[in-house]
Structures are given as structure tokens and as C-alpha cells.
Amino acid sequence: MRHDDLTRDIIGASMTVLNALRPGLDERIYERALVVELESRGHRIDQQREFPVRYRGHLVGKLVPDLIVDDTVIADPKVVSSFGDSHVAQMLGYLSISNLDVALLLNFKESKLQWRRVVRNLDIGRPDRT
């Protein structure tokens, strides 16, 4: 799997944060705590980095993923009942615009971390999720 060691470390850091803070807080709190935890593990974090969104050569907006770890993986902390197709679709859009390959959805709602790995399939030019 692409970036397997990095995604495992992000998931482990997320579990550490959830165990310390407990479930049900605001997403931004988990995001900030995850930055602290990942940086303490030696990772580089871009928080709220902006990517231009273009349509037919025109700038039509900007994309702002929550976290990008080591310029490689998008990490998106959530506090939701469960992940739906819209969450996966959002991550596939983020991957496409950012030209990154892997995203992690991280759910801090319950006492056990829920996560979902989303991978852009570059081999055949269409998105794939795992």
C-alpha cells in the first residue's frame, strides 16, 4: 500500500490524541492536538494549506485540507456518526486537486478511533478507495 508506514503512524498518533482527550470534542481541538502529536514524532505538518481550484483556466476557488503530513498524506479529523460516501468523495476531490495519492479520514466521535484510508488510483486514471 502507498505510504503505509506514514498512514500507520498518523493513525497511531490519532489514537494517542483520542485516548488523552476522550471523544466528542470539536474537530478543531483534535486537529490542533494531532499537529502537536505528529510534530513530536518528527513529522512536518501543513495546516489549512490552500490549493487553487481552476476550471477552464479560471481560478474559481480554493481547496483547504485540514492537515497535510510530510507533503504526502491528507489527514482529515472529523467528529461524525459515521463516514459516508460524501466524506470519501470529498477526499477524492482533495486528492485530485492537490495531486496527492492518499488521504485519511479520522473520526474522533467514539471512544475507539474510526478511520478510513482513501487512495487515488493513478494506474488507470480514476479514483479508487481502500
Structural domain containing residue 55: 4-116
Q: What is the CATH number of the domain that holds 48?
A: 3.90.320.10
pLDDT of residue 97: 95
Question: What are the residues whose beta carbons fall under 8 Å from the beta carbon of 33, sequence distance 6 or more?
Answer: 17, 20, 21
- pLDDT by residue for the chain (130 residues), tens digit each? 678 899 999 999 999 999 999 998 999 999 999 999 999 999 999 999 999 999 999 999 999 999 999 999 999 999 999 999 999 999 999 999 999 999 999 999 999 999 999 998 765 444 444 4
- Is 81 inside any structural domain? yes
- Is 72 inside any structural domain? yes
- Is 130 inside any structural domain? no
Distance between CA atoms of residues 14 and 8, nearest Å: 10
Structural domain total, the chain: 1
Extract the C-alpha cell encoding 92: 477524492
- Is 93 inside any structural domain? yes
- Is 80 inside any structural domain? yes
- Is 109 inside any structural domain? yes
- Is 121 inside any structural domain? no
- Is 46 inside any structural domain? yes
